[in-house]
Amino acid sequence: MKELTNIRHIYFLGIGGIGMSALARYFSCSGKKVAGYDRTPTALTSQLTSEGINIHYQDDIRLIPPDFTAKQNTMVVLTPAVPADHSELNWFRNNGFAILKRSELLGLISRDYHTVAVAGTHGKTTVSTMIAHILAGCSGGCNAFLGGISKNFNSNLVIDPQSRFMVTEADEFDRSFLQLHPAATVVTAMDADHLDIYGNETSMREAFNTFISQTDDNGILLMKHGLPIEKSSLPAKSYTYSLNSSGDFIATNIRLENQQYHFDLSGPGITIADISLEHPGLVNVENAVAASAMAWLLGIPADHIRHALHSFSGIQRRFDYHIKTDKVVYIDDYAHHPREIEATLQSVRELYPGQNITGVFQPHLYTRTRDFAEGFAKSLSLLDRLILLDIYPARELPIEGVTSEIIYRNVTITDKIMCTKSELIDILERQNIEVLITLGAGDIDKFIEPIRQMLQKKITA
């Protein structure tokens, strides 16, 4: 990366984000001096601090470390969530510092590797992490920038200085994936999302097709069967996959044994028999089809793919078990789009037929709630009991008339409750819980431990 030859210090505005923190770790491991700002401390920022990265939580130019105030050897990296009136951002701008978006920096890094990019409005974190897990165990190894904390790696970053492979998520938010020109591409889904950025679904699809067209002409494209992808965007080596219907790569002989899925992968010139997946949920069988198909297309032997998928432990906040007993099951999941919620709840139903399922959902963003209220209501109606929290605003200001109520009133189940975060634990304590799932992309994860402790007390009472 010639652009970073003279850069010794990298300052991250929004360092605690899952994508930003992976970049911070990458450059810290590469010998650069790294520091940054974030709005609030989290478990992830605590880990970065323990790794020697200087982080502060007030927007104050006086807190920028002195080493990072010389523009000749400092680069500033920006996440889209940082507001335009941020004091530190404007100080760097006014003093002529080199400032890159997170996606631009990831694009620069990817040029040095045989990049495998995984795009999609849902599924991309699991598929990219599965691919990284498969490749990392091979002689060629891999580097990876992941959108979640892999339980196998205990990190969102994988570094192998000897490897030519880089696996990364290709994020459609803010058109970030257009900074990538991958050698191999996976597309998992193209459901309407981020309409605050794109305006409408047509514009979003156009961006996906542009991204796909940036795949190397001699590269590989693997896409879920049935996606609205223009033929003119396709590289020569293009394949489709699906769970168990049409597609070049499919799962056959799917069966559930002791709450663990087994299946055979069938594709052009390949059958991998009896793949077993410890990571639960039928939705993850489809993710495994995508990951194993791409690994096969990259030249990974069948036996290694089978072994790697069996040892795949999953990702924090992706169908993440916190209690699993005969009396109570508690799962946490990052699902924050109607299609994701539907797929997750269908998987829970398949694993726990006949049991009462309680869901706690925290809507994420006013715009997403406004745009998909009807879809949220339909998917959440798959529950037996719904506890609905207030909207988590993230980067957004309130929109008049947009509250959780517009979801709540269209949910068709009768056992439903709206509450604030401060009321949640008390309400849950009064419920007869068999299977509980918390859903959302906001700060609902802060309740995982209090919920777990409360349920453990009920179990032992």
407-413: list long-range contacts, CB under 8 Å, 24+ apart: 407/363, 407/369, 407/373, 407/376, 407/377, 407/380, 408/377, 409/377, 410/373, 410/374, 410/377, 410/378, 411/377, 411/380, 411/381, 411/386, 412/377, 412/381, 413/380, 413/381, 413/383, 413/384, 413/385, 413/386
Nearest one of 407, 371, 412, 372 to 390, comparing CA atoms: 407
Q: Tell me how far apart the alpha carbons of residues 95 and 70 are, in angstroms, rounded to a whole number.
A: 9
pLDDT in tens, the chain (461 residues): 566 778 899 999 999 999 999 999 999 999 999 999 999 999 899 999 999 999 999 999 999 999 999 989 999 999 988 989 999 999 999 999 999 999 999 999 999 999 999 999 999 999 999 999 999 988 889 999 999 999 999 999 999 999 999 999 999 988 999 999 999 999 999 988 888 889 999 999 999 999 999 999 999 999 999 999 988 878 889 999 999 778 999 999 999 888 889 999 999 989 999 999 988 888 899 999 999 999 999 999 999 999 999 999 999 989 999 999 999 999 999 999 999 999 999 999 999 999 999 999 999 999 999 999 999 999 999 999 999 999 999 888 999 999 999 999 999 999 999 999 999 999 999 999 999 999 999 999 999 999 999 999 988 87
pLDDT of residue 245: 78
DSSP alpha helices (H): ranges in 352-404? 366-380
pLDDT of residue 1: 59
Distances (CA, A) of 46 to 23, 41, 304, 445: 16, 7, 35, 16
Q: Contact 57/41 with Cβ under 8 angstroms?
A: yes
User: Which residue, among 108, 105, 104, has the nearest Cα to 34 in the 3D structure?
Assistant: 105
pLDDT at 461: 74
Specify the pLDDT at position 281. 84
Q: What is the domain partition of the chain in residue ranges?
A: 2-101, 113-242+280-304, 320-460
The pTM score is 0.93
Q: Are the folds of 113-242+280-304 and 320-460 the same?
A: no
- Topology, domain 113-242+280-304: UDP-N-acetylmuramoyl-L-alanine:D-glutamate ligase (3.40.1190)
CB 259 within 8 A of CB 351: yes
Question: Does the structural domain 320-460 have CATH classification 3.90.190.20?
Answer: yes
Structure tokens at 146: 């992941």
Q: What pLDDT score was predicted for residue 232?
A: 82
CATH hierarchy code of domain 2-101: 3.40.50.720
How many Å apart are CA 397 and CA 441, to the nearest integer?
17
Q: What is the pLDDT of residue 2?
A: 60
Distance between CA 337 and CA 441 in Å, rounded? 9
